[in-house]
Chain A
Amino acid sequence: MATTGSPTGPGAPIGAPTRISQGSQTKGGIGESTLRPDGVLKVTGEFAYSSDMWHEDMLWGHTLRSTVAHAEIRSIDTAEALATPGVYAVLTYDDLPTAVKNYGLEIQDTPVLAHGRVRHHGEPVALVAADHPETARRAAAKIRIDYAELPVVTDEASATAPGAPLIHENRDDHHIGHVAHPNIVHRQPIVRGDADAAAARADVIVSGDYVFGMQDQAFLGPESGLAVPAEDGGVDLYVATQWLHSDLRQIAPVLGLPEDKVRMTLSGVGGAFGGREDLSMQIHACLLALRTGKPVKIVYNRFESFFGHVHRHPAKLWYEHGATRDGKITHMKCRIVLDGGAYASASPAVVGNASSLSVGPYVIEDVDIEAIALYTNNPPCGAMRGFGAVQACFAYEAQMDKLAAALDMDPVEFRQLNAMEQGTLLPTGQRVDSPAPVAELLRRVKARPLPPEQQWLAAGEAADVRALPGGLSNTTHGEGVVRGVGYAVGIKNVGFSEGFDDYSTARVRLEVINGVPVAVVHTAMAEVGQGGVTVHAQIARTELGVTQVTIQPADTQVGSAGSTSASRQTYVTGGAVKHACENVREKVLEIGRRKFGTYHPAWATAELLLEGGKVVTDGGEVLADLVDVLEDEAVDLELEWRHRPTQPFDLRTGQGNGHVQYSFAAHRAVVEVDTELGLVKVIELAVAQDVGKALNPLSVLGQIQGGTIQGLGVAVMEEIIVDPKTAKVRNPSFTDYLIPTILDTPTIPVDVLELADAHAPYGLRGIGEAPTLSSTPAVLAAIRNATGLELNRTPVRPEHLTGT
């Protein structure tokens, strides 16, 4: 006897009867912590990342990038580079083969190679292919570019000043009509109720200006791929990306090839976090391969990687909140200015998110919201885990603490008093129609016992510096160290929003191989580390009752899976796999009825399932072996699947059912701050998150821990520093762009809730991003609690804590 299959329905009490199957159990289905198929390979260093690929006769591509942020290109002289022995090709803008010379996720404003002008530091200007990477680098250094530098635009004031240089002249994109200046990419206001009238009812009003620094995705596997020219004139591209079909849509027109002649295969991806949504070396490698007729590999090093992908938008945010004496928020006004840098990338969507989620997980009826993204000469910014919601959460959570302090209320109780719940109407007019346990998440993190005080003290021994700020750098033995505790909670949308047709495709095949039923799952889902390959196999086992599942490499031979971002893949491609499996199952049962229907009445009357390699009734009675049903027949279906449609936000009022699903997490941060040196040690980051349904509980924990640490990083160390005078990046290396090490990683106790969303497959909720949101403001709140400082910017640097 075993329990298997679907869980108890949504809303059923704990202990309610579940279906009991008596046939046999299918192991490794959803809800189990099955192990990653690539886990051991990755841990032992044997996994082949895209940078590890090799091809006989391959050449190495190299990208020459601008050394200045904004300049006219007066001339490019490639003669000496071309004459270098071992060099096969040097390409510039003039060598692009078709009239399509730009690409872009939404707005095609990004030149494949710079044309007459560069708009940011590190913009690609020329390409070299050579028989050795060093030769390619040396040859690229011989390309002479005559730059005439132009004044740089680096913030809202300089971007919209009279006579400001236009980053993109003659814009004809669909946002230009509703922005006040051509250096504004997109603007999304949201107006609901009457914020001014509501402000008049407030007993306290708090406001603040907040600054969010530029964070890098810092994925460990830099951009890389291999383009192999094919005999049919097409190209096979092996690449680490987040969305094969989005890449394809942008690559093919530039190459002048139909999409079926650009065959893409996902190669080993070493992390993404949004940084692989935009193209990097894809078109460049294909151009060189098609030009030279040889396979071309391009691998960025870490330095180049900092210029090779977009970053998280730095932001300036102004917020005003009011509340009545009894702790009810009256209104919120905010203005969010995101720096999109030189090219649009995902800026419009980031604006939509920042705007629509700017209220946070709170009930506020009267709001006046505006979010914009700028064009500047700073590095282009786009998608990163949390996508616009991160910056807003940092600011509104600081505001919640300010409000609670102004009212002399407990910051958690104040938040709980205003927390949204299922049924809440958002400022966009969208009603939250699945569980939103905001108050409960806060209750859970608050209820945890605090870690012991002064953990560095051990009886009779010297201070254990590992438990102190500075760690083994031995900067304090307890002097100046003050503990602080802070809370934060956030709201993130799941899936692509604003009316985007956010579908996925799965092809599932069921057949008998060597006497064993095997399911083959083929999608174009980019496995970037999130664990989709594990979850898809679990779904196939649960739906098809087989143990053996083969996951095909992701490629463009199957329909689009959409992006591995927006916390969406388990929901959407998981949903597509489930949908395809259900249809395969129906086909299999049809075959079974045809062959065996006359032998048992249950074939016609009962609800039938596939479990343990058998067809069973919902009562658990075995009707047939799958092997006997299928024999040498294969059932093979490729199907698309969509979640509920969304709507665009009204450009004037921001009204619209813009989002698919919402995801919530809460954090409590405990920090020790060396108040004299301004150094911070985060001791504990407790999390509570609702995941709807944990398809793979171990993977869920990994996502929550990872998101939490990424949020910690931008709280205390991670920032790309751009010189405001030159718009040049000052720290493009892991020497000076610091990401947390294991010694910076606190204890992360995780509390997982599973409140099913009836609209989602298995009731699941996208989980990847929510923990990144509230981690940062919780750490900031804890540092404020320890120091009494206002701290309106993140990351916090020692200078900010010491007034130096």
Chain B
Amino acid sequence: MDFLRPASWEEALAAKAEHPTAVPIAGGTDVMVEINFDHRRPEYLLDLNRIGELRDWVVGEENVELGASVPYTHIMEHLRAELPGLALASHTVASPQIRNRGGVGGNLGTASPAGDAHPALLAAGAEVEVESVRGARRIPIDAFYTGVKRNALAPDELIKSVHIKKADGPQQYSKVGTRNAMVIAVCAFGLALHPETRTVRTGIGSAAPTPVRARDAETFLNAALDEGGFWDSGKIITPSVAKQFADLVAGACNPIDDVRGTAKYRRHAVGIMARRQLGWTWEQYRTDGGGTGRTLEGAA
């Protein structure tokens, strides 16, 4: 196994072009586990740790550009206001040691349905900036996950950053595991209210072959909130609407039975999380007047 250590982004792209089978490694929290277990034996490892810009982030007008290697700890500490859903998700990632090393780029590269960041990215709305020697492009997050542990990257492309829409309303994120910390998701759910566009977005983790949005549930809720004048009145969402939303979210799951939980439980739990999060986010929207950028962050 050859260990490639490019000193710059350009060198990294060149190396990836030359060795398309090279596996990029940054925090190593996923790749090293795979190697230690002998689950994969890449011909080349492409070490991205010398490329400082991957650990930078920029808060812009509309988006946060989050470098692929920004550790979860930094997201929790510095981007809670702008990316509340992702900050909550970051809290649930493994242990403090792993959060100091791992970043969203790794979650995206691995594209496991159990990756903690995915539901938050789906709910917030994001684009993944990828680049190769052929040029750069942005992949909408909805189009990024193409199958179980597969993504839309071309073999010569590397993930540079994620452009995540800054929160314009309350966001929530929950993850079910059978331990109170340091646990892989049995299932996860993220919800973001977008008062500026008067829409909601969702993200489901570990309950389908890929991370997915519950689009029917979003469409239903968008219509219900619009027709009922909820965005203007800020009145309490009727339980029947919340229930139907939760049922539709559960219906968007396509889970499996595995050692971590049953398909039936996953569907059930995602529905519960959806109903609760709708309650939490809407309550915050109502009481904060919405759109102020203030967020609850689950009191974590």
| B-binding residues in A (CB < 8 A) | 137, 301, 303, 461-465, 469-477, 479-480, 676-679, 681, 716-717, 721, 730-731, 735-736, 738, 740-744, 797-799, 802, 804
Is the Cβ of B259 less than 8 Å from the Cβ of A470?
A: no
The contact string, 1 if C-beta is below 8 Å from chain A, for chain B 163-205, is 0000000001111111111111010000000000000000000
The secondary structure that dominates the B interface is mixed
Q: Is the CB of A477 within 8 A of B298?
A: yes
Q: A472-B91, A475-B176, A744-B181 are in contact. List 20 more A-B contacts (CB 8 A).
A: A301-B36, A461-B299, A462-B296, A462-B298, A463-B299, A469-B180, A470-B174, A470-B175, A472-B180, A472-B300, A473-B181, A477-B298, A477-B299, A479-B279, A480-B272, A736-B259, A738-B179, A741-B181, A744-B179, A744-B180
Supposing A137-B38, A730-B259, A798-B176 touch, asked if A804 and B91 sit within 8 A by C-beta, the answer is no
Interface size class of chain B, counting residues whose CB lies under 8 Å from the partner chain: 35 or more
Question: 6 A-B residue contacts at CB 8 Å?
Answer: A473-B181, A717-B178, A736-B259, A797-B178, A797-B261, A802-B268
B92 within 8 A of A: yes
- In the assembly, what is the distance between CA of A677 and CA of B276, in Å? 11
User: B10 CB to closest chain A CB, in angstroms?
Assistant: 33
Q: Which of B174, B180, B181, B260 contacts A736 (CB 8 A)?
A: B260
Contacts A303-B37, A721-B259; A465 near B178 (Cβ below 8 A): no
Between B183, B184, B280, B296, the greatest number of chain A beta carbons within 10 A of the residue's beta carbon is seen for B183
Residues in chain B within 8 A of chain A (CB atoms) = 36-38, 88, 91-92, 172-184, 186, 259-262, 264-265, 267-269, 272-273, 276, 279-280, 296, 298-300
- Indicate if the CB atoms of B181 and A472 lie closer than 8 Å: yes
Query: Given the complex, which residues of A lie within 8 Å of B259, measured CB to CB?
Result: 721, 730-731, 736
Q: Find chain B residues with CB under 8 A from A480 CB.
A: 272
Q: Are B91 and A799 in contact, with the CB atoms below 8 A?
A: no
Assuming the A-B contacts A137-B38, A474-B92, A479-B276, are A743 and B172 also in contact, with contact meaning beta carbons closer than 8 angstroms in the complex?
Answer: no
Closest Cβ–Cβ distance, residue B161 to chain A (whole Å): 26
Chain A residues with CB under 8 Å of B264's CB are 799, 804
> What's the minimum C-beta distance from A463 to chain B, rounded to whole angstroms?
5
**A465, B172: Cα distance in complex, Å:** 13
Residue of A nearest to B92 (CB): A473
Give the distance in Å from the alpha carbon of A676 to the alpha carbon of B250 in the complex.
Answer: 14
**Bound CA span A742–B179, Å:** 10
Residues of B within 8 A of A681 (CB): 180
Closest to B268 in A: A804
Closest to B257 in A: A799
Which residue from A137, A479, A798 sits with its C-beta under 8 Å from B265? A798
* B178 and A798 contacting across the interface, CB-CB below 8 Å: yes
Known contacts A473-B183, A716-B178: does B273 contact A465 (CB below 8 Å)?
A: no
Q: Are A477 and B280 in contact (CB under 8 A)?
A: yes
Q: Which of A716, A744, A798 contacts B261 (CB 8 A)?
A: A798
Name the distance in Å between B127's Cβ and chain A's nearest Cβ: 26
Chain A residues positioned under 8 Å from B267 (CB to CB): 804
Q: A463 vs B296: C-alpha distance in the bound complex, in angstroms?
A: 10
Query: In the bound complex, do residue B174 and residue A473 qualify as a contact, i.e. CB atoms below 8 Å apart?
Result: yes
The interface residues of chain B lying within 8 Å CB-to-CB of A469 are: 180
A30 to B172, CA, bound (A): 55
- B38 and A738 contact, CB distance less than 8 A: no
What's the Cα separation between A677 and B246 when bound, in Å? 14
Given the known interface contacts A301-B36, A738-B183, A741-B179, the answer about A799 and B172 at a Cβ–Cβ threshold of 8 Å is: no
Chain A residues within an 8 Å CB radius of B91: 472, 474
- Which of A474, A477, A721 has the most chain B CB within a 10 Å cutoff? A474
Contacts of A798 in B (CB 8 A): 176, 178, 186, 261, 265, 269
Report B-chain residues with C-beta under 8 Å of the C-beta of A676. Answer: 272
**Which of A471, A480, A731, A736 counts the most chain B CB atoms within 10 A?**
A471
Point out which of A137, A679, A730 has the most chain B C-beta atoms below 10 A from its C-beta: A679
In whole angstroms, how far apart are the Cα atoms of A513 and B298 in the complex? 64
Q: Nearest-CB distance from B145 to chain A (Å)?
A: 21
A678 contacts across to B, CB distance below 8 A: 265, 269
Complex CA gap A531/B279 in Å reads 52
Closest to A734 in B: B182
Interface centre among A676, A677, A721 (most CB of B within 10 A): A677
Instruction: Indicate if the CB atoms of B300 and A475 lie closer than 8 Å.
Output: no
Collect the chain A residues with CB atoms within 8 Å of residue B261's CB. Answer: 797-799
Known: A472-B92, A474-B174. A741 touches B182 (CB 8 A): yes
Please, which residues of chain B bring their CB within 8 A of the CB of A717? 178-179
Within 8 Å CB of A721, what residues of B? 259
Query: CA A671 – CA B271 in complex, angstroms?
Result: 24
Complex interface: chain A residues within 8 A of B177 (CB): 470, 473
- Assuming A798-B265, A799-B265, is B176 touching A462 (CB within 8 A)? no
Q: Which of B36, B176, B300 contacts A465 (CB 8 A)?
A: B300
Q: Which of B88, B262, B298 contacts A804 (CB 8 A)?
A: B262
Alpha-carbon gap, A474 to B174, bound state (A): 5
By beta carbon, the residue of chain B nearest A478 is B276
Q: In this complex, what residue of A is CB-closest to B37?
A: A303
In angstroms, Cα B189 to Cα A724, docked, is 32
A246 to chain B, nearest CB (A): 32
Residue pair A470, B178 in contact (C-beta under 8 Å)? no
Contact between chains at A740 and B276 (CB < 8 Å): no
Known contacts A475-B174, A804-B262; decide if A470 and B298 are in contact (CB<8 Å). Answer: no
- B88: which of A301, A474, A741, A743 is its contact (CB, 8 Å)? A474
Q: What A residues does B262 contact at CB under 8 A?
A: 799, 804
Name the A residues within 8 Å of B179 (CB-CB). 717, 738, 740-741, 744
| A462–B299 touching, CB < 8 Å | yes
Q: How far is the CB of A220 from chain B (nearest CB, A)?
A: 14
Which single residue of chain A is at the shortest CB-CB distance from B262?
Answer: A799
Least CB distance from A741 to B in Å reads 5
Known contacts: A676-B272, A730-B259. The answer to whether A475 contacts B175 by CB under 8 A is yes
B92 contacts across to A, CB distance below 8 A: 472-474
Residues of B within 8 A of A465 (CB): 298-300
Q: A462-B298, A472-B91, A799-B265 in contact; A735/B176 too (CB < 8 A)?
A: no
Q: How far is the CA of A470 from the CA of B272 in the complex (A)?
A: 13
* Set of chain B residues within 8 Å of A736, measured between Cβ atoms: 184, 259-260
What 10 A-B pairs come out closest when comparing CB atoms? A462-B299, A471-B180, A743-B181, A804-B265, A474-B298, A804-B264, A473-B175, A743-B180, A475-B174, A804-B268
Residues on B with C-beta less than 8 A from A738 are 178-179, 183
How many Å lie between the Cα of A677 and that of B36 in the bound state?
34
Q: What residue in chain A is nearest B182 (Cβ atoms)?
A: A741
Interchain CA distance A716-B178 in the complex, whole Å: 8
Residues of B within 8 A of A477 (CB): 276, 280, 298-299
Chain A residues, CB < 8 A from B272: 480, 676-677
Q: Which of A301, A464, A741 is close to B180, meaning CB atoms less than 8 Å apart? A: A741
CB distance from B77 to the nearest CB of A (A): 14
CB-based contact B181/A471 at 8 Å: yes
**Would A677 and B178 be within 8 Å (CB), given that A474-B300, A479-B276 are in contact?**
no
CA distance A742 to B299 in the complex (A): 20
- Bound-complex Cα distance A184 to B81 (A): 63
Residue of A nearest to B179 (CB): A738
Tell me the nearest residue of chain A to B186, going by C-beta. Answer: A798
- Which residue of chain B lies nearest to A461 when distances are taken between CB atoms in the complex? B299
- In the bound complex, residues from chain A placing their C-beta under 8 Å from that of B178 are 679, 716-717, 738, 797-798
Chain B, residue nearest A476 (CB): B276
Q: Kindly report which residue of chain B lies nearest to residue A473, judged by CB atoms.
A: B175
A677 and B181 contacting across the interface, CB-CB below 8 Å: no
**Known contacts A301-B36, A474-B88, A736-B260, A677 near B298 by CB under 8 Å:** no
Shortest Cβ distance from B180 into A: residue: A471
Question: Please, which residue of chain A has its CB at the minimum distance from the CB of B88?
Answer: A474
Smallest Cβ distance from A717 to chain B, in angstroms?
5
Separation of A541 and B60 alpha carbons in the complex (Å): 70
In the bound complex, do residue A677 and residue B300 qualify as a contact, i.e. CB atoms below 8 Å apart? no
- Give every chain B residue within 8 A of A471 (Cβ-Cβ): 180-181
- The CA of A464 and the CA of B38, in the complex, are separated in Å by 40
For the complex formed, measure the closest distance between the CB of A457 and the CB atoms of chain B, giving whole angstroms: 10
A802–B299 CB distance below 8 A: no
